Amino acid sequence: MHLYAIFALPFLGALAAALLPSERFRPLLIPAVGLLHAYYSLRLAFAPQPYPPDAMLGLDALGRLILLVVSLLFAASSLYAVGYFRTHPTWGNRIFIVCLLVFLGAMSLAAAARNFGLLWVAVEATTVISAPLIYFNRNRLSIEATWKYLLICSVGIALAMLGLMFVAYAGLQAGQGPGLQIDRMLAEAGLLSKPWLRTGFVFLLVGFGTKMGLAPLHTWKPDAYGEAPGLVGALLAGGLTSVSLLAVLRALQIMTAAGEDILARQFLLILGILSLIFAAIFVIRQRDIKRMLAYSSVEHMGILAVGLAVGKLAAYGAMFHVMNNALTKGALFMCAGNIHRYFGSKRMCETRGAAAALPWSATLFLIGFLAITGSPPFGPFISQLTIIRGIFDGGNVLLGIGFPFLLLIIFIGMSTTVMPVVLAPAEADPSPGEGAKETWLTVLSPLLLMSAVLVLGLSLPEPLRRLFQEAADLIEVGP
Amino acid sequence: MPIPINEILVAVILLNFFILGTSRLGTCIMAVASQGILLALLPPLVHGVNGHSVLLSVGALSIKGVVIPWLLFRAIRRVRIRREVEPRIGYIASLLLSALITTAAFLFADRLPLLPLHIHSFFIPVALSTLGAGFLLLITRRKAITQVLGYLVFENGIFIFGILLVEAMPLMVEAGVLLDMLVAIFVMGIVMNHINREFSTINTEHLSLLKE
Amino acid sequence: MTETISTFFIHLLLLFGLSPLLAGVIARTKALVAGRQGPPVTQLYRDIWKLFRKEMVISETTTWVFRAGPLVGFAVPILAALLVPFGAMHAPLSFTGDAILFVYLLALARFFTILAALDTGSSFEGMGAAREATFSALAEPAIFVAFIVLAHTSGSLTLSSMLRPGPGGELFHGPSSMSLLLVSFSLFIILLAENCRIPFDDPNTHLELTMIHEVMVLDHSGPDLGLILYGAALKLLLSSALVLNLVLPSSGNDLVDTLVFIAGLLLLAVCIGLVESAMARLRLIRIPQLLVGTTMLSFFALLLIVR
């Protein structure tokens, strides 16, 4: 019953938003749907419901984790959305809000899909429906970003479809009845034809990896994140990437069940390390705070991929990191949005001294930066440390040294951008009333998210720990 | 009367060549549409007439053969662009490349570990070469609309492969795939219109403001 | 022996007698489609006859090459025609590898036409020669690939057996039917290209910028021009025979087959007329595209049979 609520709510909300004539009250639908959705997701996440083996929909530990992450992020950012539209009361918001809610519905659908085809459909739907969100600012830059995002991700997703078909063909060749039902594929994975399965995995990884933003398939990411409103950036960087990661995890699950996990892990490791290197190169001297965050997102996708590739303890760390990354990145993008709106620019040189003008947002931005780069006592510190420990447990010393080294470079690179923005004395006072000041709504969301990240770092609640562990165990199930 | 499956697949490849070689945008759209229509005929021919294959066929026919071409024609009418393709590399080079891809696809397909049923079938090589042609269009064409056409040809290639797997896909998923594609093209059309309004062209080489 | 000699004569008779008729049929078809009366179908016979009785004007700057052009252009199609079977009639000459000779004979004729055009020293004719050289260089691979396909299906390098895929129109039933269909289609396009028909060249135009073949023969007059016209007509029949041999079924009865062949020639001429009426001449820049496309078509046919 609750399972259906998580799709029904966003879609009904979208319908209501489409029909509601009032531009003023329409934004209120977002927190209404978001909070209810979060309520149901919380209940689902910690009270697993069994589902029949041939079901189209059902939530296993991975699905519950991703659903929880997406839902919490959305609920927190829904408050920000209300504040966002208060500052722009004249902007038409019907399409934006409808798309936003459908976006949530599609992400929930992806989390609960038990059929690989359905998962694909949901992920593709998120691509299409988020394009209008990125284009919300309606200028040359955002149209360019939207076009690149739409085309690159559509092609990526099409490649994933091809991979899916290869995997299905592997099943056809094994003589088992063809099908893309995940549980059945897992159960019969040992029979799958290996060459087709391997090729299929590569395509799936490339396809969904494009959507995740793993280097070198990340090229759309800085543009899309840079030009989208902060709210959308938060949902893309925290929600969409997690959902795409889920699709990659499903592929990894099948490979592991078929006894092909070594190959899969190698590919993941290569893409993960590449992502870290790319992020390290481009984050240095990055003048644009949102683009900097985009590269940070590439970095964290790389961290997740490395964690998954190493496995065991690191896989647990990666599951933990999914949540940390989503919540922290959400807070960062919303703060960046506040700064962007106040200064009318997201260039580093034009946003100096934000702390004086926007005390809350700037402080939260700084804290978020410290958290995301892995400073104690926040959640990402614990999860990254767990991944590093996992690497050393696996005996890969070279990686164990190189990985933190890359993280350090990225920390330094990001700090050269963040510090001037937050702490430098303002060069010229922007005339009062020029930019939009922060309001309690636009500050509350990142504040909530950052407190959650702090709690995760200080003491991880037991049910959550169990959820991460169960999710990590699912990936590790061998043949 | 033998079932003309291979003939249809050969026609699909020839259409690939045609799409890569033609210089008129309208003709290009028509060719992509007819490729979609040809492909839509295949599921019932391959799997026999049953509810599933017929529904898939009708869905593909109406979306690939009618609605999407209509959307694209509307798009080029709206933005009043030059009706020329303007490729980044010449037509002859694209033709030669696609011939290379097709050859590679045929040679490669025979080395794949296929089901006995599919050995020497045309499906795999045609699917591979159509994928290649779609990719070529995506990479080598300047206009936004021709990139969309490339994406469509690419999807057609996937569709050919998918016909072998009709039983693997629940109808709901297939409907979802087609619907997603339709909405994607719809959104791309809108974005194209906005690109044209902002830049007064839909040549994507002008989309170069965002870079490091 | 007597049979061989009689075939030889019938072959030549058909070639010389029928070839100007084809051009007439094409012109008539185009006229009818356009709603005009048009010249009689025998117009070309009369033109040639008239030209042979005229005197010749030869520029002082030219050399013997200028005279050799029309002669070679007339003699070569006759030689080439001896290699090609006409329907049921076997080719008078055939030996292994004559397909290659056939292509080179056509190239030889073109070579001399081009030289003769260059010999006048006029830049205008030089331009035509350059175009002819370019396009024929692109058309030749198409012919070669088509011939390779035919050689592969028939297992022989002799035109006589290459062009006869089997009795009873095997084209539409055999295992390589699709390739043969593609090859016949590309041979038809090559026919249009080789004989300077629309959409490659417009045989009627005398507009400077668009001419290819016509411009090269502008300086010829009298009997020389007659030879050129006759040579072109022979070449048209020759190329048509290539396509027809592939497409026409054979009944086994020689007389019927020969009649069917003649009817086929006329029908093909009507088809060419219809194509010319329906299409516009391509821009020069697009012609290489079409020729490469034709090569691709033959190439793809090859791919289908060798896989």
Q: Could you write out the three-class secondary structure of A194-232?
A: HHHHHHHHHHHHHHHHHHHCCCCCCCHHHHHHHHCCHHH
Which pLDDT score is estimated for A478? 59
Rounded CA separation C31/A160 (Å): 57
Question: Which residue, among B189, B187, B178, B172, has the nearest Cα to B71 in the 3D structure?
Answer: B189
Which pLDDT score is estimated for C166? 55
Question: Which residue, among A115, A57, A76, A384, has the nearest Cα to A234 in the 3D structure?
Answer: A76
Rounded CA separation B24/A359 (Å): 58
For chain A, the straight-line distance linking the first and the last C-alpha, in angstroms and rounded, comes to: 33
Give Cβ neighbours of residue C63 (< 8 Å, ≥ 6 apart).
C119
Rounded CA separation B28/B149 (Å): 8
Which chain B residues are Cβ-neighbours of A125 within 8 angstroms?
Answer: 176, 180, 183
Residue with tokens 């190493």: A310
Compute the nearest-CA separation of B68 from chain A (Å): 16
CA distances from C277 to C28, C29, C280, C281, C294 (A): 11, 8, 8, 10, 21
* Percentage of residues in chain A having pLDDT higher than 70: 96
For A259-306, the pLDDT digits (tens) are 888 999 999 999 999 999 999 999 988 889 999 999 999 999 999 999
Residue with tokens 């309001």: A439
CB A379 within 8 A of CB A457: yes
Task: Say whether residue B212 is in contact with chain A using an 8 A CB cutoff.
Answer: yes
Query: Rounded mean pLDDT of chain C?
Result: 87
Q: Which of C138, C173, C305, C307 to mutate to test the interface with B (most CBs of B within 10 A)?
A: C307
Question: Which residue, among A125, A137, A118, A120, has the nearest Cα to A101 in the 3D structure?
Answer: A125
Identity (one letter) of the amino acid at C171? L
Which chain A residues are Cβ-neighbours of B160 within 8 angstroms?
Answer: none
Query: How many other C-beta atoms are found inside a 10 Å radius of the C-beta of residue C104?
Result: 14
A366, pLDDT greater than 80: yes
Rounded CA separation A163/A204 (Å): 5
Task: Say whether residue B191 is in contact with chain A using an 8 A CB cutoff.
Answer: yes
For B127-180, the pLDDT digits (tens) are 999 999 999 999 888 888 888 999 999 999 999 988 888 777 777 778 778 888
Which chain A residues are Cβ-neighbours of B187 within 8 angstroms?
Answer: 128, 131-132, 150
For A151-174, the pLDDT digits (tens) are 999 999 999 999 998 998 888 877
Give Cβ neighbours of residue C86 (< 8 Å, ≥ 6 apart).
C11, C14, C15, C241, C245, C258, C261
C299 contacts B21? CB cut-off 8 A: no
CB C85 within 8 A of CB C98: no
Band of the pLDDT at C189, cuts 50, 70, 90?
A: very high
Which chain C residues are Cβ-neighbours of B102 within 8 angstroms?
Answer: 300, 303
On the CB side of A170, CA atoms within 13 Å amount to 26
Instruction: Find out whether the peptide bond into A377 is cis, omega within 30 degrees of 0.
Output: yes
Which pLDDT score is estimated for C171? 58
B165 contacts A172? CB cut-off 8 A: yes
Q: Which of B5, B9, B95 to mutate to test the interface with C (most CBs of C within 10 A)?
A: B95
C29, pLDDT greater than 90: yes
Which pLDDT score is estimated for C268? 94
A433, pLDDT greater than 60: no
Region C162-179: what's the mean pLDDT?
66
For A99-128, the pLDDT digits (tens) are 999 999 999 999 999 999 899 999 999 999
Token readout for C12 is 């030549």
Which chain C residues are Cβ-neighbours of B136 within 8 angstroms?
Answer: none
CB B210 within 8 A of CB A226: yes
Nearest to C303 among B6, B23, B106 (CB): B106
Give the highest mean pLDDT range of A303-307, B194-198, B206-210: A303-307
A82, pLDDT greater than 50: yes
- What sign has the CA pseudo-torsion C116, C118, C122, C126? positive
Residue with tokens 């990354």: A325
For B11-68, the pLDDT digits (tens) are 999 999 999 988 888 899 999 999 999 999 998 888 888 888 888 899 999 999 999 9
Task: Say whether residue B106 is in contact with chain C using an 8 A CB cutoff.
Answer: yes
Token readout for C151 is 């050689």
Rounded CA separation A430/A316 (Å): 47
Question: Which residue, among A426, A440, A407, has the nearest Cα to A356 in the 3D structure?
Answer: A426
Which pLDDT score is estimated for C168? 47
CA distances from B130 to A176, A211, B151 (A): 28, 23, 11
Residue with tokens 């709690």: A455
C296 contacts B99? CB cut-off 8 A: yes
Rounded CA separation C23/C229 (Å): 10
Which pLDDT score is estimated for A161? 92
Q: What is the pTM of this model?
A: 0.90
CB C163 within 8 A of CB C85: yes
